[in-house]
Structure 1
Amino acid sequence: MEEEINTGNSSSPPYSDQQEKVKEEQEVVKEEEEELHKLLVPDIRDLPLTPPSVVDSNYVSFFAPDFIKPGHDQYVYRHANGLCVIGLAPTHVALKEEGGVTAIDFNVGKSDRSAIKVTGKRKKNAQHFEPNSALCKVCTNDNFYIVRCCVKGSLLEVNERLIKQPGLLNSSASREGYIAIIMPKPTDWPKIKSSLLSFEDYEKLKDLS
């Protein structure tokens, strides 16, 4: 009897070492592309319901609650370049009064803070202030409150827009209603930071969380 010829499909020959190496490299490239895609195009389920504000994106928030006096709560938003934006925290006593802030006066201490004009890269004419130095006086229908620097540094500008539009403190104190911008020395910042609260600690202290 003649030997039967096997016509079935024989198993494929094993990959050579070179083919295995190419396959592994392709898998690595695929994984890297998937990781890059995740970074560039995040899962919509992971995105916040509302986009972060400019403050949330570019600044680190710190707070000086009950600064000098109870209820005198202020914020310090620090930019990566070291600049600090100073303003009234949402829990400041002035913002809780009926009618809120009605006027603001930068003529405090021995000079009118709004008259300080800083120029050039060297910040010519910038005045140096201590944390407890007065920045301005905010007025309500029945009282007035002194707003202070909270940080040691050079006063670069005050928000003169508030003189004609004090209501910005009631509607947008953390943005358009900021009080001033101060530049501390980099060497002073660690000590300044230790005197302030983080956003999380501020929320806990004021029972906002």
Structure 2
Amino acid sequence: MARPADTAALLAPSAADAEDTKVPASSSTCSAPVAKKRRVEKRERLRKSALCKHFDKPGGCPFPNCKFAHGRAEVNDSSTHSVAAQRRLIREQSIRRAEEQFLATDAGTVTPKRRGTMIERYYTEMFACDTMGKPMEDQYVHMHSNRLCVLGVAESHPVMQEELVSVEFTQNVLQSRVTGKKKKGGQFMLPNTVLCVLKCKSGHEFKLYSCMRGALIEVNERLQKEPELLKQKNQSDGYLAIIQPKKVEVSEIQQSLLSKEEYRQFRAISKAHTESNVQKITESTSAEDTPYKVVKEELEDEPMSDIIKEEPTSEAVPMEEWK
């Protein structure tokens, strides 16, 4: 029976093996994951942007290197990535929408103007144009004042001109589940994550994407049984999904998308550009066909006797004169 010392000696690696398995320190530092660096940078940006939970307790904060602010005077609200700045942005947009419901005259009287739809009153309307580089495949993102975003198909999408057969959500989207009051546990979506595939009667297929980063809260499974809702009520019952972005990414998401006014200008310019290209192609085609039309008209106007002349035939000679 081997003793413990002999067993430890057998299990211990040799010096040559230890040198082979040693990894250089430079390679380990160079191969640091990019995601970890991004998290560290974001954590540094968010430093002192929220109050410490232990600051008001007896004895104060027990952590010497606490990243939270100890008092209102230390709160850093100037950073656009801070939670306070994101909340302020959403609050300002809500106040602006409320102020747009009234008209002020020179006399000082304030009259309520025509109230818009529910989307115009409570949501910030944004659009993602030409998703994944595909022309005219636009999607909308309506952000509520509570940060929840409703995704759907825009009016300019080519699927609006097709006869829709089915809406097939991807398997990972259907399997996403949230729990609790704060709706945690949903799958995290990226801008290029495929939500569903639209299949048309003509054979065309369109993929719809998330267009933003956030946790998937809800999927409109009603579209699987009633796919026509996507076209008939694209902004209400025909929505695709509800996604909740992170608090610190609200500003970045709004900057990456087009506002309603920018979307209208972009589509008006693209429409005018397309019409001008079609007009140029039509003019060039008509210019190429003009010489052929002129020649054809000239041929029709001239008499056939002047164009096609029969060759003179030799006169018939009687057989008697040959002799």
Q: Same fold (TM over 0.5)?
A: yes
| Cross-structure match for 1:126 | 186
Conserved? CA contact 1:129–1:152, under 8 Å: yes
Deviation, structure 1 residue 112: 3.9
Distance, in Å, in 2 between the alignment partners of 1:105 and 1:196 is 26
| Cross-structure match for 1:182 | 243
* Cα-Cα RMSD: 1.8
Tell which has more relative contact order, 1 or 2 (C-alpha 8 A, sep 6+).
1
Cα gap change, 1:124 to 1:186, in 2 (>3 Å): closer
**Quick check: 113-122 or 195-204, which moved more?**
113-122
| Cross-structure match for 1:136 | 196
Q: Give structure 1 stretches of 5+ with no counterpart.
A: 1-33
Conserved? CA contact 2:173–2:187, under 8 Å: no
In structure 1, the residue corresponding to 2:126 is in which secondary structure? strand
| Cross-structure match for 2:123 | 59
More helix by share: 2
| Cross-structure match for 2:140 | 75
Deviation, structure 1 residue 90: 0.5
Cα offsets for 1:156-176 (capped at 9, x unmatched): 011111111110111110111
Conserved? CA contact 2:128–2:139, under 8 Å: yes
Q: In the alignment, which of 154, 159, 166 is matched to residue 89 of structure 1?
A: 154
Return the letter of the residue paired with 1:201: E
Length-normalised TM-score, structure 1: 0.72
Deviation, structure 1 residue 140: 1.2
Find the structure with the greater CA-based Rg: 2
Cα offsets for 1:78-106 (capped at 9, x unmatched): 00111110110100111122x2x221011
Conserved? CA contact 1:114–1:157, under 8 Å: no
Return the letter of the residue paired with 1:63: F
Q: Determine what percentage of the aligned residue pairs are the same residue.
A: 36
Distance, in Å, in 2 between the alignment partners of 1:85 and 1:53 is 15
Return the letter of the residue paired with 1:138: L
Distance, in Å, in 2 between the alignment partners of 1:55 and 1:113 is 25
Distance, in Å, in 1 between the alignment partners of 2:117 and 2:166 is 27
**Quick check: 165-174 or 119-128, which moved more?**
119-128
Conserved? CA contact 1:153–1:184, under 8 Å: yes
| Cross-structure match for 1:18 | none
Q: In the alignment, which of 161, 167, 175 is matched to residue 104 of structure 1?
A: 167
Return the letter of the residue paired with 2:158: V
More strand by share: 1
Return the letter of the residue paired with 1:128: F
Distance, in Å, in 2 between the alignment partners of 1:72 and 1:155 is 22
Distance, in Å, in 1 between the alignment partners of 2:137 and 2:207 is 8
Return the letter of the residue paired with 2:186: A
In structure 2, the residue corresponding to 1:188 is in which secondary structure? helix
| Cross-structure match for 1:23 | none
Aligned length: 161
In structure 2, the residue corresponding to 1:77 is in which secondary structure? strand
Distance, in Å, in 1 between the alignment partners of 2:145 and 2:184 is 22
Return the letter of the residue paired with 2:199: C
Q: Give structure 2 stretches of 5+ with no counterpart.
A: 1-106, 272-323
Return the letter of the residue paired with 2:167: I
Distance, in Å, in 1 between the alignment partners of 2:156 and 2:129 is 9
In structure 2, the residue corresponding to 1:173 is in which secondary structure? coil
Greater than 3 Å deviation, 4+ residue runs: none
Residue 199 in structure 1 maps to residue 264 in structure 2: no
Distance, in Å, in 2 between the alignment partners of 1:93 and 1:60 is 24
Deviation, structure 1 residue 127: 0.8
Distance, in Å, in 1 between the alignment partners of 2:188 and 2:229 is 26
Conserved? CA contact 1:137–1:147, under 8 Å: yes
Distance, in Å, in 2 between the alignment partners of 1:180 and 1:157 is 6
